[in-house]
Amino acid sequence: MDTKAISEVLGERFDVAAGDGSRALKELGLPADAATLDVGTGSGNFAIYLASQGYRVITGEPSTDTSQYAGRDWALNAEKAGVLDRIRFEAFDASKLPFEAGAFDAVFFFGVLHHIDEGVRSEVFREALRVLKENGAVVFFEPRTEMLERVRVDDPGHPPAANPSNYLHDQNVREQRIEGALMDIFLYRKSA
């Protein structure tokens, strides 16, 4: 299934992930066999988008998260999209990732950082950089105003967007920002 066909099955939220996801992937130029980590599974939209582009994806969220955004039926969505075989779920907390250093070509947080407790966001950023290959990238997508307004129709108490740079304490990491249609995209790479 191509992304347009998946959008028809999964709806608007997948469309947002695919639209702004494609802007980031174009910039990254990942190898076809890239190992990707999708932090914060939710309904699986971003993991499904990555898998639809042919990447192997590990995705996860804390098993203890009882919010309305966790424990969603990501696997059913992935099955409908025909990409379930390329996605592996593993429960984890992003502040203590159960992966070896340098395991991933890219680590993605799609609509996730603002849902993570502010007190651990610096640790989460450090962990994402630890599990990243030397030439890899950490990419955060945070909602722009229009997206936040849409989300707050169903969830008036939805937290404001986060700025990942406020939680970056490594001077050897460079940032690039890309304006997405509905999400701001923050891309970080280790300096050579």
Ligand X SMILES: C[S@@+](CC[C@H](N)C(=O)[O-])C[C@H]1O[C@@H](n2cnc3c(N)ncnc32)[C@H](O)[C@@H]1O
Interface residues with ligand X (CB under 6 A) are 17, 39-46, 61-62, 65, 69-70, 93-95, 110-112, 115-116
Minimum Å distance from CB 139 to ligand X? 12
Minimum Å distance from CB 92 to ligand X? 6
Residue nearer to ligand X on the CB measure, 27 or 69: 69
The answer to whether 164 and 4 are in contact (CB under 8 A) is no
Residue nearer to ligand X on the CB measure, 64 or 191: 64
Minimum Å distance from CB 59 to ligand X? 8
Residue nearer to ligand X on the CB measure, 108 or 172: 108
- Nearest Cα neighbor of 100 from 130, 124, 125 is 130
Query: What distance in Å separates the CA atoms of residue 86 and residue 91, rounded to the nearest whole number?
Result: 17
* Residues ≥6 apart with Cβ < 8 Å to 10: 45, 48, 77, 80, 81
Residue nearer to ligand X on the CB measure, 140 or 188: 140
Q: Which residue is nearest to ligand X (CB)?
A: 42
104-110 vs 87-89, strand pairing mode: unpaired
